[in-house]
Chains A and B, each alone.
Chain A
Amino acid sequence: MEFEPVIGLEVHVQLNTQSKLFCSCPTNFGAVPNTHVCPVCLGHPGVLPVLNKQAMENAIKCGLALNCSISLFSKFDRKNYFYPDLPKGYQVSQFDKPLCHKGHVTIVDTGVEKIIGVTRVHLEEDAGKLVHAAHGADSGVDFNRGGIPLLEIVSEPDIRTPDEAYLYLTALKAIVEYLGISDCNMEEGSLRCDANVSIRPKGQKQFGTKTEIKNMNSFRGVQKAISYEIERQKDVILSGEKIVQETRLWNDDKGSTFSMRSKEDAHDYRYFPEPDLVPMVVEQKYIDTLRENLPELPFPRMHRFIEQYGLPEYDADILTGDKAFADYYEQCASVCSEYKMISNWMLSDLIREAGARKISFADAPVTPKMLAEMISLISNGTISGKIAKIVFIEMFDSGKTPSKIIEEKGLVQISNPEELQKVISNVVAQHPAVVAEFKAGKEKSIGFLVGQIMKETKGKANPQLVNTLLREALG
């Protein structure tokens, strides 16, 4: 039997506002435990929440970027449950009137565009974090994270493969980063993802029983966990059993999921409207202004790159997937019109050399100006592509400009026919046997001779010119 997976993702994004959602405590990561706390976010008796307007604005921006409808009226609700990391015994969240709903994200899967629906985007507060002592049974709670604004972005069950799930997350992250509203760091927990996974026989309309997978800490982890879960569900069904609706935890080390709690143990969160906050009422004019001021987003930018720079979709997709990367490209392209060459250098050499040094391309000493200059030097024949590889690495290590490197190392391409002819004559004279082979019709032999010429000139010879002059010399 052939199965079709049905996947929906629930993503939590921490907003990088200056202060928490309902109090003025700072939000930056990595502070000494329980130093970013106050009576409000510790849930002391008698405290009241006050909405951080910036968080609401960022949430609306995100909704707009995800093509959502923005609710002119929405409200907060309390989600009630007991846990030590939840100081008030309830989380202030949004239940039936989310701030944004009915949007979508476009992903590009091996050249094919697909639309993934976004059910809703809502605003809520983060919980604290349990810290367990390395030895002994003690646990502590760090409330620094408690009350940081979170966006919950829920997708429609439109995702069909683990790859699509990965692409959806990448696209979502790119959008959020373009908006500048979150650090989107999965390791620091500023982006988290749970997956709802079910399978059904191909062609069947009705959904199968789903499981919810939690505890993935990278996009690849999400992809792997979904792949594992799909296979697990197939095995269960094929062995004649039924899928149990449950929450499962992904274990990245073991590469498998295991049951955490079944539906019967599921919480009854007793949602009800948060009486300590007034509803969020926004005007259409305000939303329109935010919409007008949205930055260019990754997907439209990709299409512009294809059109404006004549790039293949593959290149444009990768370049625009990261705002800073795309900005880098455009800075190069503004001073150098070898658009495809810029893309090639960025997608191969820049990424590779930065990766080898374990730094971000943004921290590389090679500035867009330097890369553009180097590419211009290739295209005007000053250096060969081969020499450029040397120049690029030197730029990366020394931070010197390409012209400086070329000057210092004497790397300028030899395009003087007289100078080259001397070298060619020598090489031809030194290898009579090879010359004879060529003349006898062994075309490949010319490659050896070219190699020797390059060796003599330390690679600086203009390859096209060498080719022409050599053939002339060989008659």
Chain B
Amino acid sequence: MNLFSKTAAELLELLKNRDISAREIVTSVFNRIESVDSKVNAFAQTDKESALKQADAIDKKRSAGEPLGMLAGIPVALKDNLCRTGYRTSCGSKILSSYKAVYNATVVQKLITADAVFIGNANMDEFAMGSSCERSIYGATHNPWNISCAPGGSSGGSAAAVAADETILALGSDTGGSIRQPASFCGIVGLKPTYGLVSRFGLIAYASSLDQIGPLTKDVYDSALLLENISGYDPSDSTSIKQNPFSYTSTLKESIKGLRIGIPQEYFIGGLDSEVASHIQSAIKLLAECGAEIIDISLPHTEYAVATYYIIATAEASSNLARFDGVRYGYRTEESSDLHDMYFKTRSEGFGDEVKRRILLGTYVLSSGYYDAYYKKAQQVRTLICRDFENAFQKVDCIITPTAPSPAFKISEKIDDPLTMYLSDIFTISVNLAGLPGISIPCGFSSSRLPIGMQIIGKPLGEQTILRCAYTFERNTPFRTMKPTLE
């Protein structure tokens, strides 16, 4: 078996026993990238030379008997919106195409401490705005299960890289489903942590009150392992939760007997794909057989989630993206007659259509005379959505829904229809609005052999519970071992 196809846990075991070296892992992963990435296009950039150097340094440390970090020698791909000193961090956008980060994101610093090996930046929808990973200056990423399909987005590059075995671990960011939906489309595990569990410092913001960094991995154990290494209080992020580090891997194997799982009726109506519906139903049945108690619940304000999200997220984005003005860094238009003209041309030329659409929308909803009707109202609805979950969690320990309404759609199928595209996140958005943890794990395949994902939503800081539930499910199903054929 090739090293690239293994999980982090498996590789760590091999490394520990000195059966393999970090250099061998990195070499294996880059061989894989070289052989399949022309089809997948998962990366915005890779740096083999640097990765090998990092690997050699770790191998040296190991042979010298020096203490090693928890992820020593394990390749990890960063989403292209996470800052790493000296490396281009462009958010898939022309406006940052030449920008090199001048500091390390907190998660990057933590991964350096853990001795992980950075192999490159994964492709993404420009500024994390999109559900298909098609809107990037680096071109569209393809779904490893069917290269005519989208990998989902916006962390489509991270998800596709993991699914295609082009990396062992990957980080993504999730504002409305951008980790979970691509994980679902690519048949891997994607976790969006509780808002504030992972520091956002160094994550190029899309919507500050919703953004959260999280792991995309081949299985649940790796997800817990990576979360352990990136979470924790960060004084540089005022919204970070003061919480002691927790070993999520240590409680995975505990039984889910008596675990109360809520099934919200609002998620099983209307536009839900029938194959998705039936796989979720089977999954629920399986969990019941494992000892979980299944309880019907209601989240009555679900239908307002998408509208609420597109007001709050775009409002914040319109402000967050104002700093890309051509004055201090990044792209600046070639010629301009005055300051206003420079701003106008730089931003017109530097941003793609979807980004412009959301900036316009966000500017509009914050404008004087519209603020109360849109932004303020949306914040009120957000409170109601939070309350829905609070009420539900009085009765249950976690909630199960489909991750996405359908399996992966075709590339360019929805690109000209933003509203339909926005509905791809219909099941994931509420979780961001309420700041809750959510995980997507594979629960089956469609008749056309595309993965289907199941979402498990937890209470605030309920990562331990949803990981345990996901782990139990994973160990009782064969999906973890299934790989796309790319050759």
Q: Are B201 and A46 in contact (CB under 8 A)?
A: yes
Q: Are A51 and B238 in contact (CB under 8 A)?
A: yes
Q: Are B99 and A45 in contact (CB under 8 A)?
A: yes
Residues of B within 8 A of A48 (CB): 200-201, 236-239
Question: What is the bound-complex CA distance between A275 and B362, given in angstroms?
Answer: 14
* Given A44-B103, A88-B322, 19 other A-B residues pairs in contact with their CB atoms under 8 A: A39-B103, A45-B83, A45-B89, A45-B96, A45-B204, A46-B81, A46-B82, A46-B83, A46-B201, A46-B203, A46-B205, A48-B201, A51-B238, A78-B319, A89-B322, A90-B319, A141-B327, A276-B208, A276-B238
Residues of A within 8 A of B367 (CB): 268, 270
Contact of A270 among B321, B324, B363 (CB under 8 A): B363
A50's nearest neighbour on chain B, judged by CB, is B238
Q: Are B343 and A82 in contact (CB under 8 A)?
A: yes
Residues of B within 8 A of A270 (CB): 318-319, 363, 366-368, 371
What are 20 contact pairs spanning A and B, CB under 8 A?
A45-B323, A46-B89, A46-B101, A46-B205, A48-B236, A50-B235, A50-B236, A88-B322, A88-B323, A89-B321, A89-B322, A89-B323, A270-B318, A270-B363, A270-B367, A270-B368, A272-B316, A275-B207, A275-B208, A275-B239
B234's nearest neighbour on chain A, judged by CB, is A48
Q: How far is the CB of B445 from chain A (nearest CB, A)?
A: 37
Q: Are B102 and A44 in contact (CB under 8 A)?
A: yes
Q: Are B201 and A43 in contact (CB under 8 A)?
A: no
Question: What is the bound-complex CA distance between A467 and B319, given in angstroms?
Answer: 84
Q: How far is the CB of A56 from chain B (nearest CB, A)?
A: 13
Interface size class on chain B is 35 or more
Question: What is the bound-complex CA distance between A270 and B105, given in angstroms?
Answer: 29
Q: Are A268 and B238 in contact (CB under 8 A)?
A: no
A79's nearest neighbour on chain B, judged by CB, is B319
Question: What is the bound-complex CA distance between A411 and B62, given in angstroms?
Answer: 89
Question: What is the bound-complex CA distance between A368 and B357, given in angstroms?
Answer: 69
Residues of B within 8 A of A446 (CB): none
Q: B115 near A: Cβ within 8 Å? A: no
Q: Are A80 and B238 in contact (CB under 8 A)?
A: no
A51's nearest neighbour on chain B, judged by CB, is B238
Question: What is the bound-complex CA distance between A293 and B366, given in angstroms?
Answer: 42
Main secondary structure of the interface of B (DSSP, over half): loop
Q: Are A84 and B208 in contact (CB under 8 A)?
A: no
Residues of B within 8 A of A186 (CB): none
Q: B375 near A: Cβ within 8 Å? A: yes
Q: B339 near A: Cβ within 8 Å? A: yes
A80-B322 CB under 8 A given contacts A45-B96, A48-B238, A270-B368 = yes
B105's nearest neighbour on chain A, judged by CB, is A46
Q: B46 near A: Cβ within 8 Å? A: no
Question: What is the bound-complex CA distance between A80 and B371, given in angstroms?
Answer: 14
Residues of B within 8 A of A268 (CB): 367-368
Residues of A within 8 A of B207 (CB): 275
Residues of A within 8 A of B219 (CB): none
Question: What is the bound-complex CA distance between A270 and B360, given in angstroms?
Answer: 13
Chain B positions 332-353 with a Cβ under 8 Å from a chain A Cβ = 339, 343
Q: Are B236 and A272 in contact (CB under 8 A)?
A: no
Chain B positions 288-343 with a Cβ under 8 Å from a chain A Cβ = 315-316, 318-319, 321-325, 327-329, 339, 343
Q: Are A42 and B238 in contact (CB under 8 A)?
A: no
Q: A47 near B: Cβ within 8 Å? A: yes
A272-B323 CB under 8 A given contacts A42-B328, A46-B203 = no
Q: B73 near A: Cβ within 8 Å? A: no
Q: B144 near A: Cβ within 8 Å? A: no
